[in-house]
Structure 1
Amino acid sequence: MKKSLLFSLVMFSCATVNAEPISLEYQSFYQRLKQVNKGNYQLVEVAFSVSKANGCKLIDGTISTEKESFPLTFTKDQRIFLPYDAQLKSDRALINLNVDGDAKSCAIAMQVRSKNTKQAYDGAELLQIQTEMNTLLSMMQGFPMRYFASEIAGLNLEFDADVVITLDGKKIPVSGTYRLDKEVIERLNSIEFSQAPKVISPWTAK
C-alpha cells in the first residue's frame, strides 16, 4: 500500500528558544525566497506559517534590524508574509514572533503551493502548476528536502468545506481533501469546484 504524504515541511523548530518573543534569522527565509525569485515561477510559491500544533497561536510579530522594526503581516491560518529583500539579509534582520502557548514547542512550516486558487482550471493550467512545483522542489533538494527529492505523484487539493468537484463532466462529492494523480492531470481537459480550493500543494506518495 502506498503511504500518502502531504508536502509540508517543518523548517525551523523553536524548541531551543527559552524566552519571548521567538526570534529567527531572516537569512534562512531569504535563501528559500531567493530560489523562488530566481525561478520566475508564474503559478507557484513558497509559503511560511506558524504551525498550530501544540496550541501555538501567533499573536503578532515584527521584522527587525538594529535600526528599524516593521510589523509582520499574517493570516488567521498563521501564514506569515515575508519580503524578498537583500538589504534585510545584509542587515541581519530577525523575524520576531509573539505566541500564545508554549514557545518552546512552536515551529515554522514551509509549504510549496499554488499562488492563487480559483473555481475552474483547464488541464494545461494544472499541468503547469505540477511542472513548476516539480522544478521548484528539485531546486530545493538537499537537507531536509532530500526526503522529497523524487517527482511528486500529483496535486493535493484542500477545501474549507464539503464541495462538489466536476472532473471532465463527472461530479465527485469531496470532504476536506482530494488528490489528483499526475496521470489524471495529464489526461484532464477541465475541472470545476463548487468552491475554490483553499490550498493546492504537491502530493507525494511512497
Structure 2
Amino acid sequence: MRLRQLVLAVLMVCLGATWIGASPAQAAPLRAQSVDVYLGGVDLSGYCRTLGYQGAKRIGQHGIGDWRCYNASAEASLSVISACQWQFKPLVAAGYPVTAGTNGDSAGEWKCHATAGSTEFYRSMNLAGFCGSIGYNGAKHTGDNVTGWRCYLNSGATIPLDLHAACTWQHAAKVAVGYTVVAVWESYADSFKINCRGAHA
C-alpha cells in the first residue's frame, strides 16, 4: 500500500513539473490583409523627361518591352515600374509597394498598381479650389494632356498644378486619419477625368 502511494506521489510530481515547465501553444502570426490599389495610367513621357530625354515612344506593336525613352540622338530602355514609382512618389514615400502590370501582351496597356491594407476611390477634383487655396485665381488646362493643368493669376502668371497636392488638399480629412491620397487617371489623354485614390496601411 505504501509502495503504491509512493508511486502515485512520484507521478504527480512529474506531471506537475511538466505542466509548470510547458510552453504555451504558439499562435500563428497575424498577417495583414493586403489589397491591390489600382492606380491606372502612367506618364511615360514625363518620366523620360526627368532622365534627360525628349519623351517616350513605342517601337513595336505587341511586346510589353516595346517602350523606349528617346531624344534626337539616342534611345534607352524604359522601366515602367520605375516610371510608376516616380509618378506615385507619395505612395512610395509612405512605404507602399508600387509596381506596374499590363493587360495581356499589349504594350499600350501598362498600368500602375500599389499594395495597401485598404483603398478608397474619390471621384472628380476641385482644381480651381486648390489653386485658390495657394493664392491663385483659378485653374486652366493648356492642352498638354493630363499634365497640362496650371494654376493661374489674373496677371497672366501660371505654375504647374500639382495633382497629388490637389488631392491631398481636397481630401484632408482622409489624410488626417492616415490615408495617402494621390491623383489617378485611366489614360494620359483623360485631362478632364482625373480622380483621387486613397491608400491606408
TM-score w.r.t. the length of structure 1 is 0.24
Structure of higher RCO (CA pairs closer than 8 Å, 6+ residues apart): 1
TM-score w.r.t. the length of structure 2 is 0.24
Rg comparison, structure with higher value: 2
